[in-house]
């Protein structure tokens, strides 16, 4: 009975490793598209904000 227990330990370890490996290799690209679109909107807003700031700054230098 003791030898059976020692044989079950590697079996459970192999099953656990297979489960972990399948979980670690899962496809996680589904959320990237919306995140990239949000980042593009953020960059657009930041670029327009910098352009507005540059126009305001150049206008005050011309006085």
pTM of structure: 0.44
CA angle (30, 31, 33) in 5-degree steps: 90
Write down the pLDDT at residue 34: 77
In angstroms, the CA 31 to CA 18 distance is 25
Q: CA–CA distance from 25 to each of 13, 21, 56 (Å)?
A: 18, 6, 51
Instruction: Give the model confidence (pLDDT) of 24-56 as tens digits.
Output: 998 776 667 778 888 999 999 998 877 676 666
Q: Read off the tokens for 11.
A: 């079996």
Q: Read off the tokens for 29.
A: 């690209």
CA angle (24, 27, 28) in 5-degree steps: 90
Under the banding of pLDDT at 50, 70 and 90, the label for residue 7 is: very high
């Amino acid at each position: 009975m003791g030898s059976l227990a020692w044989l079950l330990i590697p079996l459970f370890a192999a099953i656990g490793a297979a489960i972990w490996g399948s979980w670690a290799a899962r496809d996680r690209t589904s959320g990237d598209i919306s995140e990239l679109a949000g980042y593009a909107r953020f960059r657009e807003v930041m670029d327009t904000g910098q352009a507005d700031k540059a126009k305001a700054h150049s206008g005050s230098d011309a006085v």
